[in-house]
């Protein structure tokens, strides 16, 4: 019993201590709960104040956005109303124009169809007339062909025999070779008018009609003539040891004083468009100047080669008839054979 009582007392003491510590912990927990409740209430109050402020701001913003949206929608409705009205007017105008254009196209197509039908009828009549004319032409051609066949059939025996005789005569004819005679006919001289009628310049005719005298051109301002239009300088005659002989009529000379000068006067307006002088004419002009100055060595070789029948220095003869028999026999130039007419 004593042991049990002492154990119970000890247990009761321990229980009291435990209960005291538990009560102390409970009071401490209650204090903490109260402080945390106060903190939570203060935080909730602050949060509610911030929420109310933000809610009021969001409400104001939403109200402003709604008002602006309503205003924009109203303006767009007004614009859409005006645009729809304009679109209705445009559709009505386009429909009327389309109807007018369609009617005009139908009328044009009808007229075009009528014109095509008329053109087809005219073409048909024209083709019928052409066919009839072609038939008549074919009949006429057949008739003429038959007539020509009859004429040709009658003409064949009359033409074949003369042609055969002519062919046999030509085949049996012997051609004679050319024989030089040594005599050349005298050179023929022809006279012709130098000054030809021509139309004066336009400015001169205008001055003459107005009664104004034409100014005299200064010789210093005249354009320089090309070598093709200049008057050739007189060359010293070339002396030949064989003497002068008559020349061939194929190289007849024309005696006319101032022919080249007249030609240059006639072709005066065309001097600016004349082509440049050829190399052969330039070399001939240089040779003439060199001959006047007494220097025969400056004559180009091309000018000297033009005299194909030159015998000796400075002796230029015209025609093969003027060659010496010794020159013909020595073979300086090949003998040219010319066919003459058939010997009867």
Tell the residue number behind the tokens 């003497």, with chain if given: 243
Query: Would you say residue 335 lies in a domain?
Result: yes
The boundaries of the domain holding residue 306 are 294-344
Query: Would you say residue 305 lies in a domain?
Result: yes
Q: Residue 94: its pLDDT value, please?
A: 94
CA distance 70 to 63: 10
Q: Residue 249: its pLDDT value, please?
A: 39
Query: Would you say residue 185 lies in a domain?
Result: no
Sign of CA dihedral 12, 17, 19, 20: positive
Query: Would you say residue 176 lies in a domain?
Result: no
Query: Would you say residue 312 lies in a domain?
Result: yes
Q: What is the dihedral of CA 101, 107, 113, 116, to 10 degrees?
A: -90
Per-10-residue mean pLDDT of the chain, 344 residues long, equals: 83 87 88 90 90 92 93 90 91 93 94 94 94 94 89 78 88 82 81 83 88 63 46 44 40 40 42 45 48 44 45 47 52 49 45
Q: Residue 202: its pLDDT value, please?
A: 87
Query: Would you say residue 43 lies in a domain?
Result: no
Q: Residue 292: its pLDDT value, please?
A: 44
Q: Residue 194: its pLDDT value, please?
A: 84
Structural domain total, the chain: 1
Q: Residue 254: its pLDDT value, please?
A: 38
Query: Would you say residue 325 lies in a domain?
Result: yes
Query: Would you say residue 303 lies in a domain?
Result: yes
- pTM for this model (two decimals): 0.24
């Amino acid at each position: 019993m004593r042991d049990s009582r002492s154990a119970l007392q000890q247990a009761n003491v321990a229980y009291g201590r435990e209960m005291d510590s538990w009560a102390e912990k409970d009071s401490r927990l209650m204090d903490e709960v109260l402080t945390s409740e106060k903190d939570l209430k203060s935080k909730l109050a602050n949060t509610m104040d911030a929420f109310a402020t933000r809610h009021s701001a969001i409400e104001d913003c939403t109200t402003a956005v709604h008002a602006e949206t309503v205003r924009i929608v109203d303006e767009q409705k007004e614009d859409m109303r005006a645009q729809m009205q304009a679109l209705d007017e445009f559709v009505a105008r386009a429909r009327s124009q389309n109807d007018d254009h369609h009617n005009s196209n139908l009328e044009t197509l009808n007229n075009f169809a009528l014109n095509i039908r008329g053109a087809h009828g005219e073409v048909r009549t024209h083709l019928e007339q052409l066919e009839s004319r072609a038939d008549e032409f074919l009949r006429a051609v057949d008739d003429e062909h038959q007539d020509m066949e009859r004429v040709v059939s009658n003409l064949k025996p009359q033409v074949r025999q003369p042609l055969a005789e002519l062919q046999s005569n030509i085949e049996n004819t012997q051609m004679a070779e050319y024989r030089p005679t040594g005599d050349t006919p005298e050179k023929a001289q022809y006279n012709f008018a130098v000054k030809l009628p021509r139309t004066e310049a336009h400015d001169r005719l205008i001055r003459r009609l107005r009664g104004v005298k034409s100014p005299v051109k200064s010789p210093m301002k005249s354009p320089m003539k090309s070598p093709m239009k200049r008057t050739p300088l007189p060359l010293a005659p070339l002396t030949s040891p064989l003497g002068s002989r008559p020349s061939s009529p194929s190289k007849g000379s024309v005696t006319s004083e101032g022919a080249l000068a007249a030609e240059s006067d006639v072709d005066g307006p065309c001097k600016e468009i004349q082509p440049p002088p050829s190399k052969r004419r330039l070399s001939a002009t240089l040779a003439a100047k060199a001959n006047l100055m007494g220097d025969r060595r400056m004559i180009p070789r091309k000018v000297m080669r033009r005299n194909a029948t030159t015998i000796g220095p400075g002796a230029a003869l015209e025609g093969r008839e003027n060659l010496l028999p010794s020159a013909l026999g020595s073979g300086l130039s090949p003998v040219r054979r010319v066919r003459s007419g058939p010997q009867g």
